[in-house]
Amino acid sequence: MLKQLDIDSKTIKNIVIALYEAEVNVVAHAWKGTVSVDIDENKITIWVEDEGPGIPDIDQAMQAGFSTASKKVREMGFGAGMGLPNMKKNTDELLIESEVGKGTKVKMINYFS
């Protein structure tokens, strides 16, 4: 759809990377999750919400290399601690809310050039 809207390929790549990282976090850490997307003429907004253990310390989780991934997830090649940093790197705005024992809500915005 973004290609049909003539969004530049670099912006599309950034959106795909950020969404991929968010999806992997849901699969690796949560019990279930949802992705919602809104596209208008200026931006794409993506919400990823999960029901899971939550993030006790978001600042710590934002540090490259910090991971709480299980041994099983790491054995599958994930859990390097780059998910949230890559999401931040590839979005124009990243908002994270989390409650331990309930889940995490992530809002990512990418503006179109």
Which DSSP string do the residues of 72-88 spell out, in sequence order? HHHHTT--SS-HHHHHH
| pLDDT confidence tier of residue 66, bands split at 50, 70 and 90 | confident
What is the structure's pLDDT at 82?
A: 83
How many percent of the chain have pLDDT more than 90?
Answer: 80
29 has pLDDT over 80: yes
The stretch 84-110 carries a mean pLDDT of 97
Catalytic residue among 14, 25, 86, 90: 25
Q: Are 104 and 52 in contact (CB under 8 A)?
A: yes
pLDDT tens digit sequence for 75-84: 777 878 889 9
Question: Smallest Cα–Cα separation from 16: which of 40, 35, 34, 33?
Answer: 35
What is the structure's pLDDT at 27?
A: 92
Q: Mind listing the domains of the chain with CATH numbers?
A: 9-111 (3.30.565.10)
The stretch 42-64 carries a mean pLDDT of 95
Does the active-site annotation cover 86?
A: no
pLDDT tens digit sequence for 55-64: 999 999 999 8
Catalytic residue among 14, 21, 49, 110: 21
Catalytic residue among 14, 41, 74, 99: 74
Does the active-site annotation cover 25?
A: yes
86 has pLDDT over 90: yes
The stretch 2-9 carries a mean pLDDT of 94
